[in-house]
Amino acid sequence: MSGQREVSIDKLREGMRIARGVENAYGATLIPNGMILDHNTINKLQKLGLKSVYIIDETEEVQIDNIRNFTSSYQNIVDDIKEIIDAMSYPGKFEYSHYNRVKEIVGNVLQIDTSFDIINMLAQLRNVDEYTYTHSINVGIMAMLLGRWIKLSENRIKNLIFSGLLHDIGKAKINPKILNKKDKLSDKEYEEMKKHPIYGYELASKCRLIPNEVAGGILLHHERMDGSGYPLGIKKEKIPLIARVIAIVDTFDAMVSDRIYRTRRPPFDVFKLFEEELYLYDISLTRVFMKNISKVYIGEEVELSNGAKGEIVFINENHIAKPIVKVDTEFIDLYKVNLEIRDVFIKDKISEEYSH
């Protein structure tokens, strides 16, 4: 087992791994035990005014690899998924060779080190020009995380990742003019877009190696608990677990991403939507997801709807969209005032040193 050593705050480097978790002054965990540091998490620690923290005693080479391995693995997965999705356009079949490649990608996702501030890492790696591909990867990764949080078996988590990676594969059958349209879709175009789960299911189900659970997740990820979804309009327990999971993480990633036709929405806007529209999603799954995802924003700088800037210091698990924010010396409980979080600032991107 690796030892520990104390390091002064000004000597911290990306890739170092925290040996003892760090809390802020309000008892909220800022950096959990085992987390790998990046620029953003180092900034959080610096703002606390600490003199030092304890890190796991790893070589500088290992520390560099901690960051580089994640970014290179992510980009490799994006490249692989891009080839597979593009291949669906012509000749339009999901070949056994595609299945084997996706199965390999699932294994690679399972091996990703999630000891990062991983939600922010994904935010830093999003690319509007490759949205179709990065979105598929992000949905697969977040589906894996939610599967682990609810303690699913390893095999079901594999199916979750598989379904997440391929949930939008049917869009390969949608006219690119519709997919890439910057303006609002016409009613006819929207109806065509809504067929992508069916197209995806048709592609996946023709490959006998793909489990029925995975194909079902692809077909039903736009169904909603009240029956208002598509393509079948089924509700509640008729929607399989895998599709209920994909529905949540797909919605979250789509809304916090920049798109061709709109800019991203702040994560707390999405939490508010989930809280207001809990009837659309599996309530228990949504609460687990929000509880775990929201924690990564503790210590982040935010702008409020009145223009004031502050720092999230505490998440109220009963009202996740309304955290406590410190503005200068004042603590503002957003649940008790008529203010919203307008934006969350994650200033520091992954260093170029680690992105190749």
Tell me what pLDDT residue 356 has.
45
Last residue of a domain, one of 42, 58, 74: 58
CB atoms within 10 A of CB 99: 18
- Of 34, 58, 82, the residue at which a domain comes to its end is 58
Q: Considering the domain boundaries, does residue 290 fall inside one?
A: no
Tell me whether residue 287 is in a domain. no
Q: Is 216 domain-assigned?
A: yes
What confidence score (pLDDT) does residue 103 get?
92
Bridge pairing between strands 330-333 and 341-345: unpaired
DSSP symbol at 165:
H
Shared-domain flag, residues 38 and 132: no
**Running along the chain, 356 residues long, what does each successive block of 10 average in pLDDT?**
86 93 87 88 87 93 84 86 80 78 91 76 72 90 96 97 95 88 91 96 90 96 98 96 98 88 88 95 97 92 96 94 95 96 72 47
The verdict on 169 and 245 lying in the same domain is yes
Helix (H) or strand (E) holding 309: strand 309-314
Give the contacts of 256 (CB within 8 A, at least 6 positions apart).
123, 264, 265, 266, 267, 270
Determine the pLDDT at residue 78: 87
Distance in angstroms (rounded) separating the CA atoms of residues 61 and 46 = 24
Looking at the structure, tell me whether residues 219 and 75 fall in a common domain. Answer: yes
* Same domain flag for 128 and 230: yes
- Dist. CA 333–CA 192, nearest whole Å: 44
- Does the global pTM surpass 0.75? yes
Q: What is the CATH number of the domain that holds 106?
A: 1.10.3210.10
Count the domains in the chain: 3
| 150 and 241 housed in the same domain | yes
Same domain, 260 and 339: no
Provide DSSP, 17-74. BBSS-EE-TTS-EEE-TTPBP-HHHHHHHHHHT-SEEEEE---HHHHHHHHHHHHHHH
- Give whole-number Cα distances, 97 to 42, 83, 248, 290, 316, in Å: 43, 12, 30, 37, 47
CA 343 to chain centre: 17
Are 14 and 84 in a shared domain?
Answer: no
In this predicted structure, what is the pLDDT of residue 2? 67
CA atoms within 13 A on the CB side of 74: 27
Q: Are residues 213 and 85 in the same domain?
A: yes
Q: For residue 48, what is the domain's CATH number? A: 3.90.105.10
Report which residue type is found at 211.
Answer: P
Does 89 map to a domain?
yes
Tell me, yes or no, whether 271 lies in a domain. no
Q: In terms of domains, do 317 and 200 share one? A: no
In a domain, 127, yes or no: yes
Domain containing 20: what range? 4-58
Same-domain status, 116 and 143? yes
Amino acid found at 328: D
In a domain, 288, yes or no: no
Instruction: State how far the Cα of 338 lies from the Cα of 208, in Å rounded to an integer.
Output: 54
- The predicted pLDDT at position 127 comes to 67
Which among 3, 18, 15 has a CA at the least distance from the CA of 52? 18
Q: Are residues 129 and 14 in the same domain?
A: no
89, 50: one domain: no
Which phi-psi region, left, alpha or beta, contains residue 323 (left: φ > 0; alpha: ψ -120 to 50)?
beta
What CATH number did the domain enclosing 307 receive?
Answer: 2.30.30
Query: In this structure, is residue 269 part of a structural domain?
Result: no
